[in-house]
Amino acid sequence: IIMHECAIPFIYGDVVYHSCTTVRSDFDWCSLDHDFRGRWRYCTATDPPKCTFPFTFKQRTFEQCTKEDYVLNRSWCSLTSNYNTDRKWKQCSPL
């Protein structure tokens, strides 16, 4: 499977996005064109913003995405080295 790069930043509905978005979707996605033309894909852990590994969540250190404490039972990661302090995160994939 060929994974096309996200076109970051991209314009969708007259709004400029500097990272993946969930607008009109349950999952993070990005445009494959800087000016959205209908070409898109779901985002992964490697798309901007990047996951930070390792990261601390509660009393544990994670070296990869985790499903721990995510209500939807999907994988997520921290965007900083300490989620407990910063509370910045992203979903890793739609699965």
Answer yes or no: CATH 1.20.1070 is held by domain 55-91. Answer: no
- Output the pLDDT for position 82: 98
Q: Which residue ranges make up each domain of the chain?
A: 10-42, 55-91
Domain boundaries 10-42, corresponding CATH code:
2.10.10.10
Indicate the SS3 state at residue 29.
strand
What is the mean predicted confidence (pLDDT) over 7-29?
92
**pLDDT tens, position by position, 25-84:** 988 899 999 999 999 999 988 887 889 999 999 999 999 999 999 988 888 999 999 999
Residues 6+ apart with CB under 8 A from 35: 10, 11
Separation of alpha carbons 28 and 76, rounded Å:
11
- Which pLDDT score is estimated for 38? 98
**Rounded CA separation 12/33 (Å):** 10
| Per-residue pLDDT, 56 | 98
Query: Which whole number is the average pLDDT over 6-20?
Result: 92
